[in-house]
Amino acid sequence: MKGIRPLTGIRVLDLSRVVAGPLCGRMLADQGAEVIKVEPPRRDMTRKAPPIVAGFSSYYAHLNAGKIGLCVDLADAEAAQLVGRLADASDVVLENFRPGILERFGLDAASLRRRNPRLVYCSISGYGQAGPWADRRCYAPVVHGEAGLIATNARLHDISARPEALSHADIQSGLMATAAISSALFARERTGEGAHLDVSLAEVTVYLNEFSAPELCGQTGPATYAGAASLVLTLGDGTSVVTQGNPVDNFGMWAKAMGRPELREDPRFTTQAARIRNRTEIDRLILEFSLGFDSFEALHACVDPHRIAVGVVRSVSDLAETDWAKERRLVSEPIAGLRIPRVPYRSTSGEIGVGTRPPMRGEHNRETFVRLAGLDDAAVDRLFARGALLTADDGNS
């Protein structure tokens, strides 16, 4: 039916925190699932990440928009049992604890799937649910080192090893978990059975590193293709522009664009081997050429007919102000001033993406435990009174 989002009617119990699991939950909410986020009393640490806008961390909002918010102390046995009841009423449980932690509370995959065989239980961890590294503490920066990403970047750029600025392992694992959950839900339609999904940050990092296979097959040294081999140009007006590919490979296109087709017959550039030896000279020619343009538009008009792709080096904030971003609705604003990225695809079947803010800490405790766990108001009051349930009563959402 037109207007029904793909996962409308699916309920997700999101026990995860920080990045990988929460992003997965956000993507499931974008597709129409009811996602119930369960936070501990100390709250998800990303709630404190600056900047804070309208009471919410923008970082937290990006990862948790559109969710229902609970705050539960799982150390309280009754509260943990009630979360188990929520799992009984859910289609998906999502968690990113170290293996074995949730077993202490009876919220592990084996326990919950015995009671609810249709449950799709997705575990995201550093090194998987079993094996010699399963118990290791792990965050994305550590995985970047262990799983080859830092070494790959250092090799391809021919630089010393340095940490990654972005949480690639977390973000990519969130994406992979979303795909795995969607696949498991589809399989359940045919078999009636759920599954326990084991997503490892380290394995995802290797799988989504486009240079893993070349390295495993013996590639060494800096990159001669893909992004690491491309150029960043500076135009006459100071604009930074990035180009595609290695100019060693597409020098013939550049020679035409520069109005110097004779360079293709220059002995320094006639063969691939010669161009590799003279990469510095190729770069110099293109960099000097680019200084002759007083705008990106002028450069683009010159090189585009020669099948050379170029783009301005922009900040996300700059991109958000372009006509392209506004037409595509790149940014969502669930609260005035709280701007977060919108889901990055469109569907002819209807709207995709959440339109609501993230939850305040414990905002939906009462409504959710009454609706799904069968409690009455008096029972909820008792849980609040002894600190098993909490809300954002300290002024920090």
Do 153 and 20 share a domain, yes or no? yes
pLDDT per residue over 11-50, tens digit each?
999 999 999 999 999 999 999 999 999 999 988 999 999 9
Tell me the two tokens of residue 68.
């229902």
Do 135 and 248 share a domain, yes or no? no
**Range of the structural domain that residue 294 is part of:** 240-312
Total Cβ atoms within 10 A of residue 355: 11
Residue 313 has pLDDT above 80, yes or no: yes
Residue 2 has pLDDT above 60, yes or no: no
Query: Residues 70-91: what's their mean pLDDT?
Result: 97
**87: CATH:** 3.40.50.10540
Do 188 and 290 share a domain, yes or no? no
Do 308 and 196 share a domain, yes or no? no
Q: What is the pLDDT of residue 395?
A: 45
> Lowest mean pLDDT: which of 8-22, 64-78, 129-143, 338-352?
338-352
Q: What is the pLDDT of residue 396?
A: 47
Domain boundary among 272, 287, 312: 312
Do 250 and 116 share a domain, yes or no? no
Residue 349 has pLDDT above 90, yes or no: no
pTM, entire model: 0.93
Do 105 and 251 share a domain, yes or no? no
Q: What is the pLDDT of residue 3?
A: 65
C-alpha 88 chain-centroid distance: 28
Query: Residues 265-285: what's their mean pLDDT?
Result: 95
Tell me the CA end-to-end span of the chain in Å, nearest whole number.
Answer: 37
Tell me the two tokens of residue 348.
């002819």
Query: What proportion of the chain, given as a percentage, has pLDDT over 90?
Result: 90
Return d(Cα 282, Cα 269) in angstroms, integer: 8
Do 131 and 196 share a domain, yes or no? yes
Query: Residues 197-201: what's their mean pLDDT?
Result: 98
pLDDT per residue over 103-113, tens digit each?
999 999 999 99
Total Cβ atoms within 10 A of residue 220: 7
Return d(Cα 261, Cα 266) in angstroms, integer: 10
Q: What is the pLDDT of residue 377?
A: 96
Q: Which of 39, 67, 119 shows the shortest CA–CA distance to 391?
A: 39
Side-chain-facing half-sphere of 203: CA atoms under 13 Å:
13
> Lowest mean pLDDT: which of 226-230, 237-241, 308-312, 361-365?
226-230
Average pLDDT over the chain, rounded to an integer: 95
Domain boundary among 289, 312, 335: 312
Do 40 and 155 share a domain, yes or no? yes
Do 35 and 111 share a domain, yes or no? yes
Domain count, the chain: 2
**283: CATH:** 3.30.1540
